[in-house]
Structures are given as C-alpha cells and as structure tokens.
Amino acid sequence: MNEALQAAVTGISGRFGAEVQEFRGEVTLVVSPLQINAALQALRGEYQYNFLIDVTTVDYWPAEEPRFHVIYHILDTSLNLVLRLRSPLNGNSPTIPTAEKIWPNANWYEREVWDMFGIRFEGHSDMRRIIMPYEWEGYPLRKDYPLGYEEVQFTFNKEEIMAKKPHPQERT
C-alpha cells in the first residue's frame, strides 16, 4: 500500500473504528453510517481527498442486516490515490446523512441513489427523483423490484395479449 494512503487508512480506521479491506491493491474502509460523515469530512479536511468520484449502492437482498451498502469513491488529485468507503445499512427504508455539505457534487449522486434504491439522505437540499418520472412508484434497482416483463406475442396468443394492452384514443 502507498505510504500516503496507508497514513490516511490507519488514521481513519483508528479514529472511527473502520474495518480495512484490501483486494488487489484497492483499499476499502467499512464505516458505520453514524460516523460516515465525520470520516468523509476528515478525509477531505486532513488528508487531500478533494474529489468525490461516485456515490453508489449495492443491494444484498434477501439479506436484511445489512441490506444495503452505500459506497463512496474519493480521489486525492495531487497524489492520484483512490479510496473506497462502504457504509452498511439495515432494513427497507434506510437513511444516511448526506455528503452534500462536504462535496457539493454529491447532490446528484445521492438523488440517483434515492431514485434507484430508495435510500434517504438526511439533510439533502433537494431529495427528488432524478431519472425516473416524479410520480414513479418503487425503486427500480432494488433486487426485489419486478422487471416488468411483458409476455411476447405469437400467433397463438396474439388476441389474448392485445386484449390486455393499452390502446391510444384520438382526442376530439
């Protein structure tokens, strides 16, 4: 592990009790959601992690505890070091504090995570859907979300499916 990266990892894991995982040279810190904001703030302020690359989520359904992992990738642009933070969340409607006040560009990433996984970011300034229509129900990238598959039409079942399909009306 790079020396500067090692310093950040030992500093953060010691202070916030984070578990350190290393896989093929990529370092991950597992931080509890209660301390994720403080850890991100420390990485930005005390170490030179000044760029938030991505905020995303993994759904480990049917596991419930933890069900989701919120993942942050952050970059030190002067030394070109990338660090990953994971934060496990339990249950069906989890919340985690927003990172918007640390990196303003977290705004849209967190809206996307809210849109696709239904994870609420507390303190977020504009918690709306970003990709799906506003009136959409459900969170499409959750593992228990139905794909919405429609049956394929063949000659033997064409009539049956056409009866169920919506048809447009001419407006007068």
Interacting residues toward another protein by CB under 8 A: 132-133, 140, 145-150, 152-153, 165-168, 170-171
What's the min distance (Å) between Cβ of 115 and another protein?
12
What's the min distance (Å) between Cβ of 130 and another protein?
11
Smaller CB distance to another protein: residue 65 or 137?
137
What's the min distance (Å) between Cβ of 120 and another protein?
22
What's the min distance (Å) between Cβ of 64 and another protein?
24
What's the min distance (Å) between Cβ of 149 and another protein?
5
- Compute the distance between CA of residue 163 and CA of residue 141 in angstroms, rounded to an integer: 30
DSSP per-residue string spanning the chain: --HHHHHHHHHHHHHHT-EEEEETTEEEEE--TTTHHHHHHHHHHTS---EEEEEEEEE-TT--TT-EEEEEEEEETTTTEEEEEEEEE-SSS-EEE--TTT-TTHHHHHHHHHHHH--EEET-S----SSS-TT--S-TTSTTS-----PPP-TTTHHHHHHHS-------
Q: Positive or negative, the Cα torsion across 87, 91, 92, 95? A: negative
Smaller CB distance to another protein: residue 25 or 148?
148
